[in-house]
Structure 1
Amino acid sequence: MMEIRTERLRLRQWRDDDLDALAPMYADPEVMRYIRDGSVQDRAETAAHLDRMRQHWAEHGFGLFAAELVATGELTGWVGLAVPYFLPEVMPTVEIGWRLGRSFWGAGLATEGARAALRFGLVDRGLEWLVSIRQVENVRSARVMEKLGLTFDRRTTTPGNGRTVDVYAISREQYTA
């Protein structure tokens, strides 16, 4: 079982009981505001997403980690790597992303977890290139991307919902420099 520890986070594989913490997060309109079309998800939809996250690991050997606080074991959300099928124009590539419950915003946890995921992807897994995609209004994610050293690549529109997104990117060469 893959696990990464940072100062405050344990990035680990998913467990069945994670649904209890994940479902309220996916039902929060503020958390979901910049995800796809901004719709919240019910418990069944969240369970289906949890299954897809597990399947991604099985298919690709990497994926989105459950992110929990080391001090308490509380699930904060997720951080990690995924193939961004929703934006075909950037394919083939891997996206680094994160989603945290609102009570964990503003503490630097997304940046901390994403730094570990960035290293996992570019160094441990040997990926050549990673992207990160955000809806243009999501300035919090833009700040995380910039802190990670990703640079603006392009602005485009997602075919599934017509929303405008910015794509940031980093190469292994840039990361290791």
Structure 2
Amino acid sequence: MQPMPSALETPRLRLRPRDGRDAEWNLALLAEHPLGRAAGSLEDERERLDAQRAMFDELGFGLYAIELASTGEAVGYCGLVVGRASASQPEIAYELLRGHVGHGYATEAAAAVADAAFDAAFPALWATVATWNAPSFGVLAKLGFGGTRRAGLDGGNVYVWLHRRAPRRRHRVSPA
């Protein structure tokens, strides 16, 4: 597998690897999380995100900050993580600040990440979604992910594993 690109673009979004400069908005995102994720100080978050960026460089994939192309405003993140999967078949992960949910940004960003992952020769991608997270099931269905099994994880929350294989590459035959 090849490394993921250092930047991705769609008509409305720019994606770049997350790092310490994303700490402030990421703390706001953590504060909005329905499961009440604990967050540290701004400096701790900068250090955590800088370490995350170093892992992106080491593994060749990781999380991208999602920015609006028109303004540069960060609206969330999307990318690949080992998570509950593996480095050879990672999980796609995404999360948006509440004020930016419902505009199709998660679908647009996740489609760009999935396309780049398959272009980088990942054979498959996984996703795990808590059963309460209906919007994520919609995003993943639009991208061709299908459910495979349910498992109770993380404090009793029930998660569904979804999977998508890389599209088959069609070889063009030149006319003789």
Equivalent position amino acid for 2:37 in 1: S
Aligned pair partner of 1:97 in 93, 97, 102? 93
Partner of 2:39: 41
2:160 corresponds in structure 1 to: 166
Aligned match of 1:149 in 136, 141, 144?
144
Match of 2:9 in 1: 5
* Structure 1, unpaired ranges of 5+: none
Shift of 1:52: 4.2
Partner of 1:108: 104
Identity %: 29
**2:113 pairs with 1:117:** yes
SS of alignment partner, residue 167 of structure 2: helix
Bigger mean CA offset, 19-28 vs 94-103: 19-28
2:162 match: secondary structure: strand
Runs of 4+ in 1 over 6 A off after TM superposition: none
Q: TM-score, normalised by structure 1?
A: 0.83
Q: Distance in 2 between matches of 1:48 and 1:161?
A: 27
Offset, 1:15: 4.2
RMSD of aligned C-alpha atoms?
A: 2.1
Taking structure 2 as the reference length, what is the TM-score of the superposition?
A: 0.83
- Paired residue type of 1:81: L
The range that moved more, 48-57 or 114-123, is: 48-57
Q: 160-169 or 70-79: which moved more?
A: 160-169
In 1, Cα distance between equivalents of 2:155 and 2:58: 26
- What corresponds to 2:173 in structure 1? none
SS at match of 1:67: strand
Deviations 1:42-86 (A, max 9, x none): 4356445423421330221011101100000000110111111xx
Decide whether aligned partners of structure 1 residues 140 and 46 sit closer, same or farther in structure 2, where only a CA change above 3 A counts. Answer: farther
